[in-house]
Amino acid sequence: MTPTSPPSTVLVTGGAGFIGSHACVELLDHGYEVIVVDDYSNSTPQVLTRVERIAGRFVGAVYELDIRDRRALSAVFDRHSVDAVVHFAAHKAVGGSTRMPVEYYDTNVGGTTALLRTMHEHGVHQLVFSSSCSIYGDAGPGPLDEATPARPTNPYAASKWICEQILADVCHRCPEYTVLCLRYFNPAGAHPSGLLGEDPHGTPDNLMPYVAQVAIGRRKRVHVFGADYPTPDGTAIRDYLHVMDTVEAHRVALDHLADGPGMRVYNLGVGKGSSVLDVVTAFSEACGRPIPYEVAARRPGDVAELVADATAVARAWGWRPIRDLADTCRDAWRFQQLNPHGYAGSARRPNTKA
Q: Which one, 48 or 308, has the nearer CB to ligand UD1?
A: 308
Q: Which is nearer to ligand UD1, 244 or 276 (CB)?
A: 276
Distance separating alpha carbons of residues 212 and 228, to the nearest angstrom: 24
Phi and psi at residue 190, to the nearest 5°: -160, 170
Nearer to ligand UD1, 127 or 207 (CB): 207
Window 193 to 212, contacts with ligand UD1 (CB under 6 A): 205-207, 210
Chain residues 107-126 in contact with ligand UD1, contact rule CB under 6 A: none
Nearer to ligand UD1, 54 or 321 (CB): 321
Q: Which of 157, 195, 268, 277 binds ligand UD1 (CB under 6 A)?
A: 157
Asked if 215 is part of the footprint of ligand UD1 (rule: CB under 6 A), the reply reads no
Catalytic residue among 156, 184, 210, 343: 156
Binders of ligand UD1 among residues 219 to 278 (CB under 6 A) are 222-225, 236, 238, 276
Task: Please state, in angstroms and rounded to a whole number, the distance separating the CA atoms of residues 309 and 321.
Answer: 12
Per-residue string for binding with ligand UD1, 295-314, x by CB under 6 A? ----x--xx--x--------
Cβ(231)–Cβ(306) under 8 Å?
no
Tell me: does residue 332 bind ligand UD1 (CB under 6 A): no
Shortest distance, position 111 Cβ to ligand UD1, whole Å: 16
| Binding interface with ligand UD1 (CB under 6 A) | 92, 94, 132-134, 157, 184, 186, 205-207, 210, 222-225, 236, 238, 276, 299, 302-303, 306
